């Protein structure tokens, strides 16, 4: 447990105590060291999983913990160019808020008690809201914050009620204990209402199509760090929560999940179609997250070994690739002050190396073999096909439209003729290439050993 507490406490103190001239270098270096140290958690699941009575690491939480630690350094790197122009007190407050957001997310993934998980799950809302409403660039950031808080609170109240009910029924909220006795316990008094109450907060967080309206708003209005953390780790809290609640919900409720699986697959298709008609680059990437998370919801509901493994792989790879796409969108926005696709076309001519990053991220996003996205999606599609042959139609159409909007995004932002107003743009910096390498290289390395995510 000290391995978790000491580095994070040092990082939080450094945000206020580090010298102003070396603030960003010290914080980024520390977060990179923590990211490298966190990779040992991938091995922890094979030895002693318990840290203490309240926190634990197992095969579900360890890849997500590593992902959260790994994305902290790129998040700070991406914010540096814009924030370094602000007063030093605001820079320190911004860095502290970002680190607090990552700390609460880490504690949520570590929690062994569902009530403790719920508290940390809700605690992530406070730094997220501060980042969006204080450092968002657009006028509608307050509206985006309102969307975020009301959608989340609506689902969370139902989840809290369900958790209190389960505590009365089981006598404990420990996840590790629930694994041992829930298989022999039938929740006869638990109706469809209770089952929905268990899952609705996580379905909003993912988000499920239909309760997804807060996500594009939050992504478009948030600064780059907010978008990266939302796509990289906060959406994964929803999938993680569903996988954890499966320990408390017995297989007798599997038939209730069938309409939800079908609806989430329709959501995959509809959000992929919506991506194809977006004009805002960040909004397009945000809707692509809704599409990918729909597959994770469907896989988590089936509860087979292949589906759970596939959902874990897709969550990790989506966290890296989607965050990389937001970084690329931000590099374009910082130079042109526009996210409109038609105004960004032709930049491959003047930024060929940036276009190579765009191509790599786009191909991974559309699940080109043998990328981690492909491994995750194939595992999910296999489990869905075993569940019902009819899912092949929806998933097949979803794959076609995913490919279409990914290529549309690349073509609209990189190809065609270069507009005259883009002739005199500053070149991409080394910092930006390092930032993208920190996203793309881990995804490429995971191809060599995808079992780390299973």
Domain ranges of the chain: 267-453
pTM of the model: 0.93
Measuring CA to CA, how many Å separate 157 from each of 150, 152, 333? 11, 9, 38
Per-residue tokens: 163: 């958790």
Q: Percentage of the chain surpassing pLDDT 70?
A: 94
Residue 1 confidence (pLDDT) above 80 = no
Residue 86: phi and psi, rounded to 5, are -85, 165
Read off the pLDDT band of 347 (50, 70, 90). confident
Output the pLDDT for position 21: 87
Residue 437 confidence (pLDDT) above 90 = yes
Residue 46 confidence (pLDDT) above 70 = no
Burial of 97 (0-12, 13-18, 19+ CB in 10 A): buried
The pLDDT tens digits of the residues spanning 189-235 come to 566 787 888 889 999 998 899 888 899 888 888 899 999 999 989 99
Output the pLDDT for position 171: 78
The pLDDT tens digits of the residues spanning 265-319 come to 999 999 999 998 888 899 999 999 999 999 999 999 988 888 999 999 999 999 9
């Amino acid at each position: 447990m000290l391995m978790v507490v000491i580095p994070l406490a040092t990082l939080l103190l450094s945000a206020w105590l580090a010298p102003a001239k070396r603030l960003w270098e010290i914080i980024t270096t520390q977060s990179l060291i923590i990211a490298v140290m966190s990779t040992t958690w991938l091995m922890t699941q094979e030895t002693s999983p318990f840290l203490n009575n309240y926190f634990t690491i197992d095969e579900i939480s360890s890849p997500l913990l590593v992902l959260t630690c790994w994305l902290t350094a790129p998040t700070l790197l991406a914010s540096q160019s814009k924030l370094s122009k602000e007063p030093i007190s605001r820079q320190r407050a911004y860095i502290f808020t970002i680190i607090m957001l990552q700390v609460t997310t880490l504690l949520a993934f570590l929690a062994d008690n569902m009530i403790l998980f719920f508290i940390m799950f809700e605690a992530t809302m406070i730094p997220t809201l501060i980042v969006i409403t204080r450092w968002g660039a657009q006028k509608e950031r307050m509206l985006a914050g309102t969307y975020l808080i009301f959608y989340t609170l609506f689902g969370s109240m139902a989840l809290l009620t369900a958790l209190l009910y389960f505590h009365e029924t089981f006598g404990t909220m420990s996840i590790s204990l629930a694994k041992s006795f829930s298989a022999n316990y039938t929740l006869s008094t638990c109706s469809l209402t209770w089952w929905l109450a268990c899952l609705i907060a996580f379905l909003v967080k993912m988000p499920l199509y239909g309760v997804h309206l807060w996500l594009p708003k939050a992504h478009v209005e948030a600064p780059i760090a907010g978008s990266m953390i939302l796509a990289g780790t906060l959406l994964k809290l929803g999938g993680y929560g569903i996988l954890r609640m499966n320990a408390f919900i017995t297989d007798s409720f599997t038939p209730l999940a069938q309409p939800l699986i079908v609806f989430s697959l329709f959501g995959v298709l509809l959000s992929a179609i919506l991506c194809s008609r977006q004009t805002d680059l960040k909004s397009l990437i945000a809707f692509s997250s809704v599409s990918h998370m729909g597959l994770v919801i469907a896989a988590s509901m089936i509860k087979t070994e292949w589906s759970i493994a596939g959902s874990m792989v897709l969550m990790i790879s989506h966290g890296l690739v989607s965050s990389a796409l937001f970084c690329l969108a931000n590099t374009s926005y910082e130079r042109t002050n526009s996210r409109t696709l038609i105004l960004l076309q032709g930049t491959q001519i003047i930024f060929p190396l940036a276009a190579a990053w765009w191509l790599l991220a786009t191909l991974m996003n559309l699940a080109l073999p043998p990328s981690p996205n492909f491994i995750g999606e194939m595992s999910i599609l296999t489990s869905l096909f075993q569940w019902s042959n009819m899912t092949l139609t929806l998933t097949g159409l979803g794959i076609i439209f995913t490919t279409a909007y990914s290529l549309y995004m690349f073509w609209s932002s990189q190809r065609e003729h270069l507009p005259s107003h883009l002739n005199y743009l500053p070149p991409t910096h080394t910092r930006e290439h390092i930032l993208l390498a920190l996203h793309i290289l881990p995804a490429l390395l995971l191809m060599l050993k995808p079992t780390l995510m299973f």
